[in-house]
């Protein structure tokens, strides 16, 4: 089912972000930046998969839920903007010469902002899984689903290849 395939990608993305946060919490900025970049690259690829393979199909079927493709697209834009904002904050933070207290307070402020991103993402992913993907799984033909799943799997395996290497270290 599409919903299982995409759910797995959502979980892999959450794992990448968790790694970033582990390093951020320890003030290890180089590693925190590196894992944020991995997360962003994979999230971008994930969104492209959805926009290229799933949104066009979802636009064609008889929708039962109230949210159309444009809402999912808007959420992608919003998530990307917040990601960029977080990247800027992290870059700024890594260049400051703070004392320990200031450093910790600024890290807490960034983690608060990241909580907002996690909330947005969670909300968006739940909507995809509970509405769009569920409806696609119900309405598309077996053959169409099979083709989509194959394309999505191939694209994702390629994207995750380099990141999976990094995860071993
Ligand atoms: Fe999405
Ligand atoms: Fe998604």
Q: Per-residue pLDDT for 35 more than 80?
A: yes
C-alpha angle with apex 37: 80 to 50, nearest 5 degrees? Answer: 45
Q: Distance, CA 146 to ligand 2 centroid (Å)?
A: 19
Is 1.20.120.520 the CATH number for 2-168?
Answer: yes
Q: Distance, CA 50 to ligand 2 centroid (Å)?
A: 7
The ligand with the least distance to the CA atom of 9 is 2
**Res 67: pLDDT:** 93
- Residue-wise pLDDT tens digits, 65-78: 999 999 999 999 99
Q: Count of alpha carbons within 13 Å of 101, Cβ hemisphere only?
A: 0
Ordered by start, the domain boundaries in the chain are 2-168
The ligand with the least distance to the CA atom of 80 is 1
**Res 164: pLDDT:** 83
Which residues make Cβ contacts (< 8 Å) with residue 106, sequence separation at least 6? 93, 96, 98
Q: Per-residue pLDDT for 169 more than 80?
A: no
**Res 56: pLDDT:** 97
pTM: 0.95
């Amino acid at each position: 089912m599409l919903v299982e395939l995409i759910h797995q990608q959502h979980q892999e993305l959450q794992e990448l972000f968790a790694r970033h946060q582990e390093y951020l919490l320890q003030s290890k900025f180089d590693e925190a930046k590196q894992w944020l970049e991995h997360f962003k690259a994979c999230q971008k690829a994930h969104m492209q998969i959805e926009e290229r393979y799933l949104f066009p199909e979802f636009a064609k079927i008889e929708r039962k839920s109230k949210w159309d493709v444009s809402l999912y697209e808007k959420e992608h834009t919003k998530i990307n903007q917040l990601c960029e904002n977080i990247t800027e904050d992290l870059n700024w933070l890594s260049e400051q010469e703070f004392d320990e207290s200031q450093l910790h307070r600024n890290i807490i402020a960034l983690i608060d902002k990241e909580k907002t991103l996690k909330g947005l993402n969670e909300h968006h992913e739940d909507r995809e899984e509970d509405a769009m993907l569920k409806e696609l799984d119900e309405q598309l033909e077996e053959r169409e689903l099979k083709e989509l799943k194959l394309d999505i799997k191939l694209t994702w395996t390629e994207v995750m290849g380099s990141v999976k290497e990094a995860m071993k270290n």
